[in-house]
Amino acid sequence: MAWFRSLNTPISDWQGRRVWIVGASSGIGAALAADLDARGARLALSARSAGRLRDVAEGMRDVMVLPLDVTDAGAFTPAMMQILDAWGGLDLVILNAGTYTPLRAWDLTTDTARQTVHTNLLGVMDGVAAVVPQMLRQQCGAIAIVGSVAGYRGLPKALAYGPSKAALINFAETLYLDLAPQGVSVFIINPGFVATPLTAQNDFDMPALISAEDAARRIVRGFAGGAFEIHFPQRFTRVMKLLRWLPDRLYFSLVSRGTRP
């Protein structure tokens, strides 16, 4: 029955699968690249730092390094053309590039806000715009967007990051409505805390912190499940989901008390 079918086509056989990871030079993206390489995927790796991408690609079987800056709207199309020249198609793009600057209301500068939204939101939209025509031609394939549980509700210090991730969740839902009927899967990946360069700047004990390698394994397991949302670690993300349903007064009070230094 359609009600019980997974929302996306599950991905479990990675042998020869053509995967483009944007934001692959460190953290979760680099760990995903290593995991998928070990499972036999063909990889295209993008981020700004060509040197770090080459380090990640070192020793991999079938890999292309395609440096790009996601804030350069014109950068995606040439990279996509290189991918199509080499592979003739694309099975999965993982839009994982992201940036985080802790911001309180009194630190807010429009420069930081713009840079965050440009990288985290517009950078994903430009990536999606570059791959959708090919996915529609193929009538199959998958787009995975890395959001965050910080997009569920407002959290301290996430003044620009949180809204960018909340917008991504909405964007992925809207994209799903259009693309799923065309045979194209859309996944939103919402991690909790993962130990990476991005979170190394946090000055508090991160609850339920996991390694990037563990995050990569959970993402791969999520693709095999075929659900729209992949969120982890669930001991943490389930609590965050529950908090979404609290009345504002209770939510603000709990979060203020729970995050007080």
Ligand X SMILES: NC(=O)c1ccc[n+]([C@@H]2O[C@H](COP(=O)([O-])OP(=O)(O)OC[C@H]3O[C@@H](n4cnc5c(N)ncnc54)[C@H](OP(=O)(O)O)[C@@H]3O)[C@@H](O)[C@H]2O)c1
Site residues (vs ligand X, CB under 6 A): 23-29, 47-49, 52, 69-71, 96-100, 119, 146, 148, 191, 193-194, 196-199
> At 89, is the secondary structure helix, strand, or coil?
coil
CB 206, min distance to ligand X, A: 7
Handedness of CA 154, 159, 165, 169 (dihedral sign): positive
Q: How far is CA 80 from CA 16, 67, 128, 129, 246, in A?
A: 18, 12, 11, 11, 43
Helix (H) or strand (E) holding 230: strand 229-232
In angstroms, rounded to a whole number, what is the distance separating the alpha carbons of residues 140 and 185? 7
In angstroms, rounded to a whole number, what is the distance separating the alpha carbons of residues 139 and 180? 10
Query: Burial, 205: exposed, middle or buried (Cβ in 10 Å; 0-12, 13-18, 19+)?
Result: exposed
CB 199, min distance to ligand X, A: 4
CB 21, min distance to ligand X, A: 9
Q: How far is CA 146 from CA 97, 124, 216, in A?
A: 8, 9, 12
100: annotated active-site residue: no
Q: Which is nearer to ligand X, 9 or 199 (CB)?
A: 199
Q: Which is nearer to ligand X, 28 or 80 (CB)?
A: 28
CB 183, min distance to ligand X, A: 26
Residue the block writes with tokens 């003739």:
88
Q: Which is nearer to ligand X, 98 or 141 (CB)?
A: 98
Contact 145, 164 (CB under 8 A): no
Active-site hit among 100, 152, 161, 176? 161
CB 191, min distance to ligand X, A: 4
Q: Which is nearer to ligand X, 60 or 194 (CB)?
A: 194
Q: Which is nearer to ligand X, 49 or 109 (CB)?
A: 49
Which amino acids are annotated catalytic? 161
